[in-house]
Amino acid sequence: MTITQQQYTTIYKVATFNSLKVTKAGVMDGNNYGDSLTIKLINIIEEETEEFGIAEKEQLLEIQIKCDNPTQVAELNMVLRTLKANGVVFELNGLLPSRPEKSSFLKVVCTDKTDFLIQRLSSLIKKDSKGA
């Protein structure tokens, strides 16, 4: 994916995530796909309804981070899991969400260049471990 013109950005602030799926490059159903990580997130919203009173709704989101090679996947996997374990909030830049057919999750593709993303997120680990 190449952005040919960028007049705005969408920033996703990730406080924590439910799961982190690692995908190795390959072919499925005739479609090629690359190495990537997918973060699954859920927001829960309470709404008042006439019929049931308070009801909870889930907003489901997947953020896919495309990687250039398995080494980047492994490194980013470790960084993201460390951030989660340490309770560090981090930000990702991405496209607007879309809903793939037959999916309950909205899907976002991260637009950060993976090598810079690894570097930026790794610096959050270092700051956090120093008490900053």
Task: Provide the pLDDT for residue 99.
Answer: 92
Note the pLDDT of residue 83: 96
* Residue range 101-123, pLDDT digits in tens: 888 899 999 999 999 999 999 99
Q: Which two tokens stand for residue 101?
A: 């057919």
Dihedral angle over CA of 12, 90, 88, 35, nearest 10? 100
Query: Please, what CATH class does the domain formed by 10-129 belong to?
Result: mainly beta
* Domain range annotation of the chain: 10-129
Q: CA-CA distance, 51 to 70, in Å (whole number)?
A: 51
Residue 8 has pLDDT above 90, yes or no: no
Q: Tell me the pTM.
A: 0.85
Please say if the pLDDT value at position 12 is more than 80: yes
- What integer pLDDT is reported at residue 31 of this predicted model? 84
Distance CA 106, CA 38 (A): 12
